[in-house]
Amino acid sequence: MAMAGLSLKATAAVTTRSLQTGDKRPFRSTAQKCRVSQLACVSASHEDLRAASVRHLAFQRSSSCTVVQITCAQDLAEQMREMRAAEKRWEQQVKEGKVKQLSAKEAGYAMQLNGYTFLDVRPSNERSKALVKDSVHVPMYEVDKSVDPGTLLRKFSNFTMGGWWNGLPVMKYNERFMPDVVAKIPKTAIIIVGCQKGLRSLSACERLYKAGYRNLFWLNGGLDAAQEGDLEREGPQPFNFGGIGGVSEFIG
């Protein structure tokens, strides 16, 4: 086998030199012609196999990307449907008078009076930038630090849908939310519930009402709508910077 392999290599070298130099001399024997023919077939087979492997790898990569894109799109569509249904339900509680709404300026006036409690339901990363003085903090959602496949897929989807720009991380519901609220705030308290943009706080009002809280006020538009001086602020940045992150935080 070693001799055959050596002979095949030698024949290939001779053939290559002949082709490169334009040598027109005939092959010495029929056996040599056969070996050259075999070599040509083997070379062609290797080239075909290599090309097929490249095409297969490209197809696999393309298929994987397509599956991820379809999964992300399906998840996003389902989330949008659930969110629209939830928003209608949350808005209905305001229409029915279960929850009253306040602007940031009105909330600021109310906080100057005795008996009002401002409940901040934002995650810690938003509150660390700016907070309402004397507010009670119980986050309804916190940053999801899990590394399971489902969470990683949501993080990938979040990044491709704009997370790289706004820096908003994937969140998960705080299972301790209601127990912590009950432990910190009595059910007889007058509560102004606020978040960054107004949606999470409206959702929190629904949970608070179901738990027996009846004196509920919702900060319409969230802290994003607050002008400087509307609410007494603590922290290094204006209220409307609380929900900004990623590249947009540095560019503006």
Calpha distance 183→250 (Å, rounded): 38
Same domain assignment for residues 86 and 122: no
Distances (CA, A) of 173 to 123, 139, 141, 154: 10, 9, 4, 14
Q: Confidence class of residue 167 from pLDDT cuts 50, 70 and 90? A: very low
The closest alpha carbon to 175, from 142, 220, 198, belongs to 142
Domain-embedded: residue 237? yes
Calpha distance 232→215 (Å, rounded): 22
User: For 39-49, how does the pLDDT look when each residue is reduced to its tens digit (9 = 90+)?
Assistant: 444 444 455 54
Same domain assignment for residues 209 and 106: yes
50, 79, 96 — which closes off a domain? Answer: 96
Same domain assignment for residues 228 and 108: yes
Domain-embedded: residue 22? no
For residue 136, list its beta bridge partners. 119
pTM: 0.61
Statement: residue 165 has pLDDT above 50: no
* From 85-89, 180-184, 207-211, the region with the lowest mean pLDDT: 85-89
For residue 119, list its beta bridge partners. 136, 193
Domain-embedded: residue 20? no
Of the residues 41, 65, 195, 205, only one is catalytic, namely: 195
Q: Confidence class of residue 67 from pLDDT cuts 50, 70 and 90? A: low
Same domain assignment for residues 64 and 175: no
Same domain assignment for residues 106 and 89: no
Same domain assignment for residues 90 and 105: no
Q: Which residue range is the domain that position 3 belongs to? A: 1-14+32-96
Which tokens is 6 given? 């050596």
The closest alpha carbon to 116, from 234, 216, 220, 239, belongs to 216
Strand order from edge to edge, sheet including 116-120: 100-102, 216-219, 190-194, 116-120, 136-137
Domain-embedded: residue 211? yes
User: Once rounded to an integer, what is the mean pLDDT over residues 5-19?
Assistant: 46
Q: Confidence class of residue 183 from pLDDT cuts 50, 70 and 90? A: very high
Which residue type does 98 have?
K
Calpha distance 125→252 (Å, rounded): 18
Domain-embedded: residue 55? yes
* Most confident by average pLDDT, 16-30, 93-107, 160-174: 93-107
- Active-site residue flag, 195: yes
Which helix (H) or strand (E) element contains residue 163? none
